[in-house]
Structures are given as structure tokens and as C-alpha cells.
A and B are shown apart, each in its own frame.
Chain A
């Protein structure tokens, strides 16, 4: 579903991703962990080309996304993304946030988009909030709206960039719950997070990144209980 080959990314002279190769299968939930500055967010952002790719290839369902002939907007409709800072549109209501892209990009009718949006709002437990503005929502509610907004495009893959890092601790659970449900429904997910409990419980595979490389990848059970590399052991000893 996603195939990354020898991906490199540099910002000026700073080499953030050195040589990343990984394959992600349909319905797989891959959790990416690692210290700050390890390149895990940059890696995620390369998967929908929010960061340009310096070298190497990223294939989404066989399509090379960095190819000049590829319509990246088309690819992005199939790859939803949830951000650490939510990035809801503050000048639009919750409902308008969700229906904007389906109407503009997929040319859905308003009725069609609203119907889908209400269904998704119900799913994330915010059916009664459709007419409020993001400003009046809590962080956890904002992030659930952001997830609904991404799902409205009916993506095949969902990318989560530290979705709970900007939340107050008591709101982390409600967001993780929505993500767990999504995983159970068979969504292909790539999740950058510091929530080791989530990685352990929901992840099919955990990737540990450091210094722009994938140091180790394994099932959560193996990686957490039996890490092979010193770097992984050191990191886990600090966060677990």
C-alpha cells in the first residue's frame, strides 16, 4: 500500500532523513516512535508530499508520488492527515470544516457532504457540535473533528502526526479511542506518537527511528520487551 525506497530529506545542509526504506501493507497499523529530531514527523510528512522528497521514492498504491506526472492532489484525497496542532479552519463551523474538501475537491453536493459529515461526527461522538466554531471546542474535541474532517474524504490511508501531543492529559484518551476504533475497522494507519500504550495495544508493527534512520522495527511485543539495539534500549528505558 505504501512503499518507501531509500528516502532522503535534507533541509539546507541538515540531513533529516538519511536512508529510509519501509513497506506498509493494507490495513496495517504502523506506529513510529523515536526521540525528537529523529525525523519521524518529517518521514510522515513525506508520505503525502507535505515535504518535498530530496532523493528516493515513495509509492502510494504503486504510484510514485514525487513523479512530476503524478497529480498529488489526487493522491492526497486518498491519504488523510491529522496534525498535532489540529489545524481546523477557525472561520468555519465544525460542519463546514468537514464538508469543505468533499465539496471543493470531490465536487459532492452539499446534501451528500453534510450527510456524510453528520455520520462521521456521530462516530467521533460530536454530533451535537456541528454548528459551533472550533474556538469553543476543547483540544480533544478539536482533534476528533480533525479526524472526522480527514475521514470525510474517504481516504485509504490515515497519517497521524503526534495527534495527542498538544492535548491536556485527560483528553488524550478520547482521541486514542477514536483512533483505536478506526484501526479495528481496518484502516491503514501510520501513527507518529509518544503514546507507548497505544503503540503496544493497537500497533501491528512499531518502527523506532533515530538520527534519520530506522534503527529497528518489529511487532510491539518484540520491540518493547526484547529490543535488539542499544539505541532502542536506551530510548525505551527513558519513556517506559
Chain B
């Protein structure tokens, strides 16, 4: 079997000039890069979810003066390219706090702050999509606003947020490739290094594309399973 696969690869390599031998040497680096991609994405999803929930609730505050900063933040993040954001954070923000630049920190912070804005919108839309009769019914029974949110609104809203949150996580994994420009040693960083070393295009970038696709596709399968399970929870 392995022999067969080996000879198959060899025949492709001979007929197309695809240099599997060069890729083989880079495999440990791509593997490490993949772990970095997964790592910074997980960190960013975690921080982004917490910040996003807070910003989303901030946006929903009735007092316009109080909700304004949250709305402004979301508008700013959504209205500027991630490429610009990451450079500002890497060369501007992180040195202020750490005294020097740090690619991994900048990558995680930039991804978190960026996804927080999108996640905030998902939370806000999810909460607002729940019929206002639900809040009224809960309040009419004497529940406080917070109790009604926790027991009635958020459990329903959360279910509706899963598909758009899944999209956001997939976007985040793909956007994490841009952290290569601030030297985060993730997948694209090594792909570019390979390109720089051997002047070859197809091998590194095609492999990078395949790895990203495997990551995002796996995630979307997991999410659709979760969606189905939650959908059937309702109807026992």
C-alpha cells in the first residue's frame, strides 16, 4: 500500500515536475505551522467570544451614550482591513505594552479584537431576533431583566448564533494566514519561507491551501453536527 502510494507520487512528480522531495524536508515546519495556526485561532476564538459577548451586550444598552463606544468599535473594526489592523497592533500597540514587538502576541490580539467585533454583531443580532413577547412573558411573571435574559432569551438566541458563529470561526482561521506578515510561524509563514528558499510556487502554496481546507472543512462538519443535535434537542 505504502509502496503503491510512493510510486503514485513519484509518477506525478516525474510527469509534472512537482518537487515532493523538497516538501518532505519542510514537512516538520508545516506541521509546526499548522499547530501555530490552530493555537492562535483557538486563543482568538476564546478571547473573541468573551469580548464579543460583552461588546454585543454593550451595543444593546438602551442609553445611546453608553452604547455608542461599542457601536463605534464595531464600525471601526468592520470598516478597516485586517491587514492594516494587524500592522497597527504589531508595530504600534504591542510595543507599548511589551516594550518590543512580538509577532505571536500581535497575531492573537489582532485576531481576537477583529473577531470580537464580528462576534458582537452575531450576539446582538441573535438576541434581537428573539420575539419580544418572550421577554414580556418572562417579565410579566416577575422575573428580572437579567433572569429573563439568562433563562429565556440567551438559550434561544445561542442556538440561532451557531451557524453564523461557525462562519466567523472559519473566517478567523483563514484570516490567521495574514499573521505571517508579522512573522508568526504559522502555515503561510513557512509556505512563504519555502517559496523564498526554492523559488517554487505550487508546492508550498498548494500544500498550504490543502491544510487550510482540511482545518476549515473539519470545523464545518463539527459545527453542522452540533447544529443538528441542538435542533433535535427541542423536539423530544
Q: Report B28-67 residues with CB < 8 Å from chain A CB.
A: none
Report which of B138, B147, B155, B236 forms a contact with A131, defined as CB distance below 8 A.
B236
| Residue numbers in A under 8 Å from B141 (CB-CB) | 76-77, 80, 100-101, 105, 149-150, 153
The residue in chain A whose Cβ has the minimal distance to the Cβ of B235 is: A133
A105 touches B236 (CB 8 A): no
Interface hub of B133, B137, B142, B144 (most chain A Cβ within 10 A): B142
B140 touches A76 (CB 8 A): yes
A91 touches B133 (CB 8 A): no
Given A105-B143, A136-B235; A91-B136 close (CB under 8 Å): no
* C-alpha gap A91/B158 in the complex (Å): 11
| Residue numbers in B under 8 Å from A50 (CB-CB) | 136, 139-140
Residue B156, interface by CB 8 Å: yes
Residue A104, interface by CB 8 Å: yes
Given A83-B133, A104-B147, A105-B147; A133-B236 close (CB under 8 Å): yes
A87 touches B143 (CB 8 A): no
| Residue numbers in A under 8 Å from B142 (CB-CB) | 73-74, 76-77, 101, 105-106, 153
Residue A89, interface by CB 8 Å: yes
| Residue numbers in A under 8 Å from B224 (CB-CB) | none
Residue A90, interface by CB 8 Å: yes
Residue A218, interface by CB 8 Å: no
Chain B residues bordering chain A, tally (CB within 8 A): 21
| Residue numbers in B under 8 Å from A131 (CB-CB) | 236
* C-alpha gap A55/B164 in the complex (Å): 44
* C-alpha gap A104/B155 in the complex (Å): 16
A104 touches B235 (CB 8 A): no
Q: Report A198-232 residues with CB < 8 Å from chain B CB.
A: none
The residue in chain A whose Cβ has the minimal distance to the Cβ of B234 is: A133
| Residue numbers in A under 8 Å from B134 (CB-CB) | 87, 89
A87 touches B133 (CB 8 A): yes
* C-alpha gap A88/B138 in the complex (Å): 9
A73 touches B137 (CB 8 A): no
Residue B162, interface by CB 8 Å: no
Q: Report B139-163 residues with CB < 8 Å from chain A CB.
A: 139-144, 147, 151-152, 155-156, 159
Enumerate chain B interface residues (CB-CB to A < 8 A).
Answer: 131, 133-134, 136-144, 147, 151-152, 155-156, 159, 234-236
Give 8 A-B contacts (CB < 8 Å), ordered by A residue: A73-B139, A73-B144, A87-B137, A89-B138, A101-B142, A132-B236, A133-B235, A153-B141
